[in-house]
A and B are shown apart, each in its own frame.
Chain A
C-alpha cells in the first residue's frame, strides 16, 4: 500500500469508530437519560407512569413515616404541590424534614412516586442545585445557605 492508501485506511477506520461512538451516544441520550422535575412540573404534565425521573423539592414537615423493613414514606413539596414518595433503604445522613432533597425512581399509576435512591447532599450547608434553582424560580427561595421556606 502506498502512503496515501494507508492514510486513507487509517482515516476510514477512525471515521468508523467515531461514527460508532456517535451512534451509541445518540441512542443512549434518547433512551437513558433521566429528567429532573418538581412536584409542580409533574402536576402540569401528563407523564406516563413507569418513566424514570428525578424529583426534587423540600421534604415536607411532618411527612416522614418509618415502616417495616426499612420502608419509608415521605412527601416532597415545592410549596405549591406535593407528591408522596415511597422508598426502601437507608436515608442519607443529611436527610431532614424541611430540607432540600432529590430522589430518583419511577412514577406509579396511583400518582405516588417510588424512589430507588435518595440522593445525599455532601454538606449540610448546600441545597441540591436543581432544588435551589427550582425554588428560586417559584420565588420561595431564601438565602444562599440552604435555608428552608419557613
Chain B
C-alpha cells in the first residue's frame, strides 16, 4: 500500500512532544508547589491533558498503520498480515513489544489526564505534586520507548506482505486482557504518585486516603478482571485445561493484585480512623513497585513466555534502571520523610483495625512468598549457574497456608467494631454462616462419596465467606430483629461501599468453591480414537465422528467432529480444531468447550496418525467457571464501591462532612 501521508513520522513526532511535555510536567508544577506559585502549579493539569492527547495521537497513528496494513512500518510488517481479521489488526497493535509499551504509556497518561480532570477540587499543591510524580513515570517510559522500542521505525523498501501475528495471540483475549491488565497495574501509579506527594509534603491525613481510594479501587477492579480474563484465555487457548500455572509472568500481575488488595484495606483504616498512615504510604509504594517489577520481568526478556515478544538486552537494562530509580528513590524518600508523619489513632488488637492489620500482615507475607518464588530462580541462575523452576508445589506450600488464616478470619473483620471489638459476640452473630459452611462440607462429602476430604473443606470455606458476607449485611440492617420495613429502609440507607465489600468477599468465596471442586473432582481421559470409536470422561460418552477441513480468513483448519452424550441427555456436538497459519508456518489447537451449568467439558486434540486415529484429551471440569465468575463478582464489587458517594473525588470537602454523619457503624 502506498503511503503518501507520513502517519508513522507524525506518530513518532507526537511521542517526542509527549516526552517534552512530560518533562515539563515533572519539574515546573513541583517547583510551583514548593514556592507556592499558582501559575507554575496550574501548568500540571494542562500538561497532563496535552500529554495524553499526544500519546493518544501516536497510538492512533500506529493503529492506522495496522488497520491499513502499512508494511513500510517495521512493527506492522512483523506482526500483521493483510488477510488478518480486522479485530486482530486493532488488537495486534499491542500484540508485540513496542505496541504493548505504547499501550502502557497511553494508559499511564490517561490516568494522569483523569486526575487532572477529576482532581480539580484537590488542594492545588497536592494536585501539582501528584501530577509531577506522574510526569516522572511518563518521562521514564516515553524515553524508554523512543530510545529502545520505537514502534514507528520504517522499512525501505516496504515488503508487500506482513509476517502475521503469532497465531496464539489471534484471539479475542488479546483485545481484552492487556488493556484491562494495564488499566489495573498502571492505575496503581496514581496511588504511588499520591504517596510520594504526601512524603514530599510531609503531611498526610484521612482526606488523603479518601482521595486515593477511588483510584486504587479503579485500578484493582480492572486488574482483577484482567487477571481473570488472562486466566480464562490461557485455559482455552493453551489446550492443557489449566487455569493458573504460577508462571512468573502470571505472578508479575498477581503480586500487585495482592499488594493492591492489602492497600485497599489499609486505606479504609486510614480514612476512617486516621491510623496506619505510614504503612498505607509504604503499601502504595510497594504496590506500584511490584507493577514496575512485573513490567520489567515481562518486557526485559529475563523470562521467556508468550508475553515476552522479543529479547534485546538494552531494553532490559533500561527498564532495570527505571525500576531501580523509582523503587530505590521512593523508598529512600520514604525512609527520609516518613518519620515526619504523625502516627494516628490507637486501637485494641481485637477491633476492626486489628482485623485489617491481620489481613495486611498475611497478604503482604503471601506477596513476599510469591516474590521469592518468582525471583529465586533468576537469582540462583545469575549467581550459581544452576537452573531451577518453581511451580505449583512451592506455592501450595507457601502461599496456600498463608491465605487460609486470611480467609477464615475474613467474615469477622467487617463485623468487629472500630477501636475495640467483641470477638465472642461476633462469633455468635456469625453462627448462621458457620452452620451453612458445615452443611456445605457434609453435603459435598455425601454427594461425592467421601473420596476426597480437602475439596469439601474448601467448598465449606467458600460458603463460609459468602454466608459471612451476607450475615454482615443482615446484621447491619437488623434483619429478623426488627420489622421488615425498618430493615428495608436500613438496607436502602447502607452506603454502597458496604455492598461493594460484600460482593468482594463473596466473590472470593465463589472462586474458592470453584477451585476446591475442580481441583478435587476433575476427570481426565487421554486416548486415541478412530472415526466411530468412543471414549468416556466422567459420566459423558464421546464419539469421534470424523474430521473435515475448513478454511478461515488467514488459516486453514482440520475440524474434528465429536458427539458427546450423557445417559438420557441430548447429544452435544463438539468440534475441536487444529489450525495452520500459512504466513507464520505455525499452528494452534483450538479446544472445544461445552459449558453445562457451572461445569465444563473440555476437549482438545493432538495429531492424526496415518490410519486416521486421533489423539484426544478430554476433561470434565466440575464448577470450573466459578473460579472466574468469582473474580468478576469481586471486580463488580469494586465498581459498586466506586459509586459510593463518599468516594466521589469531585466533592472531597462536602463529602468529608457527610462521611462523618453518614456512616452507620454497627454498635460495638
**Chain A interface residues (CB < 8 Å from chain B):** 1, 3, 6, 9-10, 13-14, 17-18, 20-21, 24-25, 27-29, 31-36, 54, 66, 68-70, 88-94, 104, 117, 120-124, 126, 128-130, 133
Contacts and interface: CB of A to CB of B under 8 A. Distances in A.
B527 interface: yes
List 9 A-B pairs, minimum CB-CB distance, nearest first. Answer: A122-B306, A36-B387, A21-B365, A32-B393, A28-B397, A70-B526, A90-B606, A129-B304, A124-B586
A36 B397 contact: no
Contacts of A21: 365-366, 368-369, 398, 402
A32 B365 CA distance: 19
A24 B238 contact: no
Contacts, number: 126
Interface of B: 166, 168, 238-240, 303-306, 343, 346-349, 357-358, 361-362, 365-366, 368-369, 372-373, 376-377, 386-391, 393-394, 397-398, 401-402, 526-528, 578, 584-589, 604-607, 609, 615-617
Contacts of B357: 10, 13
Given A66-B609, A90-B615, A17 B365 contact: yes
Contact of B389 (A36, A91, A122, A123): A36
A13 B349 CA distance: 10
A7 to B, nearest CB: 9
Contacts of B348: 1, 6
B617 A90 contact: yes
B398 A90 contact: no
B394 A28 contact: yes
B544 to A, nearest CB: 13
Contact of B615 (A29, A70, A93, A117): A70
A27 B587 CA distance: 41
23 contacts: A3-B343, A6-B347, A10-B357, A14-B361, A17-B362, A21-B366, A24-B398, A28-B393, A33-B390, A35-B386, A35-B387, A69-B527, A90-B604, A90-B605, A92-B239, A93-B586, A93-B589, A122-B168, A123-B166, A124-B584, A124-B585, A130-B387, A133-B387
Contact of B587 (A54, A69, A93): A93
Contact of B394 (A20, A32, A126): A32
B357 to A, nearest CB: 7
A120 B238 contact: yes
Given A36-B387, A69-B526, A128-B304, 11 more contacts: A6-B348, A24-B369, A24-B398, A33-B389, A34-B389, A34-B390, A36-B388, A68-B528, A90-B604, A93-B586, A104-B389
Given A36-B388, A124-B585, A89 B402 contact: no
Contacts of A17: 361-362, 365, 402
Contacts of B303: 129
Contacts of A14: 361
Contacts of B361: 13-14, 17
